[in-house]
């Protein structure tokens, strides 16, 4: 089970993974910015190395129908509703306009290697986010207790899809980018099902299995 803070907690955990990947010798001081990709300048451009943006949330195809019957005919809740989601992330990389040291390519290589080596956001990583003072607003998250682990998978976009996506953000210049999907995130409704009524008159009936009966005998033609 996990509450409504699951999406934000997964985003924070992915941010920390990317941050760990790009803070290496030669890329010191680079940070990860969360939000829609924008054109940066001055101090911002020097400070940020990558941009993480959750651009799409879609139902998980495998688990979307597992909780169809959540209520009785009279509307009584019989089980806690749960929605299964896949999170699609856009990771863009920033460097000075005159990038003579190929910083964007180096950061992209580090992030690809990190997410390929560690394709699962572990419960320990989620717990560190929940317990971190920097993420005090996520302290009541319980996504680390859901049964399914959150796995990271690269998304391949065609040139047309990529062009359409950048067109949506027409105030931002094109940046070297990666696209990943985090699956699956389960969010439970904050509702308590009505407990089932106790059995008033328990009845037990035991009957012997009937003996086999020969109903027809057919001769073998051979």
Query: Residue 20 CA to chain centroid, in angstroms?
Result: 19
Angle value at C-alpha 7, between 90 and 87, nearest 5 degrees: 40
Domain of 180 in residue numbering reads as: 6-188
Q: What is the pLDDT of residues 8-56, one digit of tens each?
A: 999 999 999 999 999 888 776 688 999 888 877 667 766 778 999 999 9
Q: What is the pLDDT of residue 154?
A: 96
Q: What is the pLDDT of residues 62-108, one digit of tens each?
A: 887 776 656 666 666 666 778 899 999 999 998 776 666 788 899 99
* Neighbour count for residue 166 (Cβ, 10 Å): 17
- Among the listed residues 35, 33, 52, 56, the one whose alpha carbon sits nearest the alpha carbon of residue 43: 33
Secondary structure (DSSP) of 173-200: ----EEEEEEEEEEEE-S--PPPPPPPS
Q: 180 falls in which pLDDT band (50, 70, 90)?
A: very high
Residue 184: cis peptide before it, omega within 30 degrees of 0: yes
110-119 average pLDDT score: 94
Tell me, yes or no, whether 200 lies in a domain.
no
Domain count within the chain: 1
- The whole-angstrom separation of Cα 38 and Cα 52 is 11
Q: For residue 124, what is the enclosing H or E element?
A: helix 123-131
Tell me, yes or no, whether 202 lies in a domain.
no
Q: What is the pLDDT of residue 97?
A: 66
Q: What is the pLDDT of residue 197?
A: 67
Tell me, yes or no, whether 221 lies in a domain.
no
Secondary structure (DSSP) of 20-33: HHH-STTSTT-EEE
> Which pair of structure tokens corresponds to residue 173?
């210049």
Instruction: Please report the beta strands in 78-176, taking only residues with DSSP state E, as ranges in sequence order.
Output: 82-93, 120-121, 150-154
Which of 50-78 are b and which e, b meaning 16 or more Cβ less than 10 Å from the residue's Cβ? Answer: bbbbbeeeeebeebeeebeeeeeeeeeee
Tell me, yes or no, whether 216 lies in a domain.
no
Tell me, yes or no, whether 207 lies in a domain.
no
Q: Are 101 and 23 in contact (CB under 8 A)?
A: no
Tell me, yes or no, whether 193 lies in a domain.
no
Tell me, yes or no, whether 140 lies in a domain.
yes
Tell me, yes or no, whether 196 lies in a domain.
no
pTM of the model: 0.79
Q: What is the pLDDT of residue 125?
A: 95
């Amino acid at each position: 089970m996990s509450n409504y803070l699951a999406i934000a907690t997964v985003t924070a955990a992915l941010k920390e993974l990317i941050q760990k990947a790009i803070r290496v010798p030669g890329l010191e001081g680079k940070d990860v910015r969360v939000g829609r990709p924008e054109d940066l300048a001055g101090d911002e451009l020097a400070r940020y190395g990558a941009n993480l943006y959750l651009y799409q949330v879609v139902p998980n195809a495998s688990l979307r129908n597992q909780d169809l019957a959540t209520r009785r005919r009279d509307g009584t809740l019989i089980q806690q509703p749960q929605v299964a989601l896949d999170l699609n992330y856009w990771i863009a990389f920033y460097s000075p306009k005159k990038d003579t040291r190929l910083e964007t390519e180096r950061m992209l290589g580090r992030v690809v290697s990190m997410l390929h080596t560690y394709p699962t956001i572990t419960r320990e990583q989620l717990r560190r986010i929940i317990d971190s003072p920097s993420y005090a607003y996520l302290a009541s998250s319980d996504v680390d207790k859901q049964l399914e682990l959150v796995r990271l998978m690269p998304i391949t976009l065609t040139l047309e899809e990529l062009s359409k996506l950048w067109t949506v953000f027409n105030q931002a210049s094109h940046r070297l980018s990666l696209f990943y999907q985090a699956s699956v995130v389960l969010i439970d409704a904050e509702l308590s099902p009505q407990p089932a009524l106790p059995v008033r008159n328990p009845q037990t009936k035991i009957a012997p299995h009937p003996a086999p009966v020969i109903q027809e005998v057919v001769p073998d033609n051979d």
